[in-house]
């Protein structure tokens, strides 16, 4: 249905915010989102500008669900998800269970130890392949994700100070957004803003998302993956951003509970693998090396 909509919708329809969906978001007690695609590439040929327009129209709905309601997002194993992960359906089911059937109370305790150290710091530096990026988290507190919303879970996230990012980063993994796979992304930052961007595949889509609105070129989230039950990249952000030994930076909207102030219709997570010659520094001290914490 989404493909039909994008093929046939007028500009007025693309920019329309559904009053029904808005009412539903405002009046529901909680949202349970089950992701079970039959074809994860169905929107690959859609004009990026149309998807950007619809993202703006849906912003009011998504902000209510994410910021004001209890919600959970989970996958149901389908052939499409298994194919993206390059697994059989049985293998994918086992992969899903290994990522979700954890001692979440233990995960929470481990995250608390990391969070206490990072919360006291000011400046983060990410170093890895073709990557040397610094930004400030001064005054921002980390949010633990230990099984209360997403499933699987397993990350600690912060909202970087909006104008603080400087340097460059290369993403080994493709960034998936709106059914588009953008690979070989390189971003350069000055005073918090993306001032240089290239991609080896679907670069046009990357540019379209960066130009969605004023906030789309700034970092809204810095996440540290802590789920070591997830070891394989599967082209599914629900799992991939949690991989132990990775970090992710989201362009666009920040989460208000983390103290972020960046506003955008976009929230696009991009994952950096630090498990091979990568490191995280906090105020000049190395706190993680090759994906393993030193604290």
> Is pLDDT at 104 greater than 90 in this prediction?
yes
Q: How far apart are alpha carbons 295 and 288 in whole angstroms? A: 8
Confidence band of 210 (pLDDT split at 50, 70, 90) = very high
Give the pTM: 0.82
Counted domains in the chain:
1
Residues 68-86: what's their mean pLDDT? 92
Closest CA to 234 of 126, 128, 108, 93: 93
User: Six-digit token pair at 278?
Assistant: 């990568």
Closest CA to 107 of 119, 115, 118: 115
Domain that holds residue 210: 2-293
pLDDT band per the 50, 70, 90 thresholds, residue 295: confident
Mean pLDDT, range 43-69, rounded to an integer: 90
- pLDDT, tens digit, 9 for 90 and up, residues 137-196: 999 999 999 988 889 999 999 999 999 999 999 999 999 887 789 999 999 999 999 999
**Can you tell me the distance from the alpha carbon of 139 to that of 17, in angstroms, rounded to the nearest whole number?**
35
The number of residues making up the chain comes to: 295
Q: How far is CA 230 from the centre of its chain?
A: 16
Which contiguous run of DSSP H or E holds residue 115? helix 104-119
Contact 119, 141 (CB under 8 A): yes
Question: Closest by alpha carbon to 250, among 194, 166, 204, 191?
Answer: 194
121 pLDDT more than 90: yes
- pLDDT score at 14: 96
- Cβ-contact 72, 149 below 8 angstroms: yes
């Amino acid at each position: 249905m989404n493909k039909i909509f994008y093929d046939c919708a007028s500009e007025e329809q693309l920019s329309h915010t559904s009053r029904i969906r808005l009412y539903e978001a405002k009046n529901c007690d909680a949202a349970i989102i089950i992701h079970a695609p039959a074809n994860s590439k169905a929107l690959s040929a859609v004009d990026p500008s149309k998807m950007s327009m619809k993202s703006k129209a849906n912003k009011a709905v998504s902000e209510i669900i994410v910021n004001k309601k209890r919600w959970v997002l989970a996958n149901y194993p389908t052939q499409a998800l298994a194919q993206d992960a390059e697994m059989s359906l049985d293998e994918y089911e086992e992969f899903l269970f290994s990522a979700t059937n954890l001692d979440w109370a233990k995960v929470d305790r481990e995250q608390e130890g990391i969070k206490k150290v990072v919360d006291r710091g000011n400046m983060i530096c990410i170093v890895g392949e073709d990557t040397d990026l610094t930004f400030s988290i001064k005054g921002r507190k980390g949010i633990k994700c230990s099984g209360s919303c997403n499933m699987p879970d397993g990350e600690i996230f912060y909202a970087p100070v909006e104008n603080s990012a400087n340097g460059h980063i290369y993403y080994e993994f493709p960034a998936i957004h709106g059914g588009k796979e953008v690979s070989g992304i390189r971003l350069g930052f000055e005073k918090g803003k993306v001032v240089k961007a290239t991609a080896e595949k679907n670069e046009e889509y990357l540019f379209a998302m960066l130009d969605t609105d004023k906030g789309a070129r700034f970092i809204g989230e810095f996440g540290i993956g802590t789920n070591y039950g997830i070891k394989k990249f599967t082209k599914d952000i629900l799992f991939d951003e949690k991989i132990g030994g990775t970090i992710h930076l989201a362009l666009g909207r920040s989460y208000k509970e983390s103290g972020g102030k960046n506003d955008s219709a976009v929230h696009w997570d991009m994952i950096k693998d630090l498990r091979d010659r990568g490191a995280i520094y906090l105020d000049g001290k190395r706190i993680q090396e090759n994906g393993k914490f030193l604290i």
